[in-house]
A and B are shown apart, each in its own frame.
Chain A
Amino acid sequence: MNQDIKAEEKFMGQNAWFSIFMAVTLLIISVYPMLNKASTPLLVLGVSAFLGSFFMFVIRGGFTRKMKYHLTYKDEYLNTIDTIAYKHVVLALLITMGTVYLGSNDFALHITHSMMATFYLAVMCLAYGVSILWQNRD
């Protein structure tokens, strides 16, 4: 039981950082097509940074083969901040979508649907990661 909770604590910390790394990667991906000059080193660096953060997450997250997928945390506090983080995600998404809705006519011709979808995903990941880190402080 205690080992499960310690694993959950460790997992949540890693999960928050992974979400932030993922958000930055997605932001780069969503902005990248707008750059007229294609930069291969930047793309390689971005992909390497993402894969590095992903493997760090898998290794340091304390995953085992016996771990199952759970929608909730066993620990009460972790479960509460996870739920609040999802509320922050929804708020961030609503604010971003509202802002895009109000100002989209100016740049709609230059931006594809996939770029916008990637951008929304980035905002969601960023909101989740930052919210968890902020709530998880001592």
Chain B
Amino acid sequence: MQNHIAKFRKAAGLSQQELADAISVSRKTVSTVETSRFTPSVIIALKIALFFNTSVESLFSLDETD
């Protein structure tokens, strides 16, 4: 699964820690989700989407292998 969280975060001028604090997760969660090492739960995906005022589909997209 691919995601565009880093792009959204950088556009908002936020650090990983600031985004993590805003959605009440650890910085490691943000870091590993951004690098696609960790697939977050629906709750975290919705929290990120809500924070950036966008949809989950615009943040995450499926790979051919998914």
Contact = CB atoms under 8 A, between A and B. Distances in A.
Nearest to A4: B24
B38 A78 contact: no
Interface of A: 1-2, 5-6, 8-9, 75-78, 80, 136, 138
B44 interface: yes
Interface in B28-42: 28-29, 31-33, 38, 40-41
B25 A5 contact: yes
Interface of B: 20-21, 24-29, 31-33, 38, 40-41, 44
The dominant DSSP class at the A interface is helix
A6 B26 CA distance: 7
Given A76-B44, A80-B38, A2 B29 contact: no
Given A2-B21, A76-B41, A80-B38, A9 B31 contact: no
A76 B28 contact: no
B31 A75 contact: no
A5 to B, nearest CB: 5
A136 B33 CA distance: 13
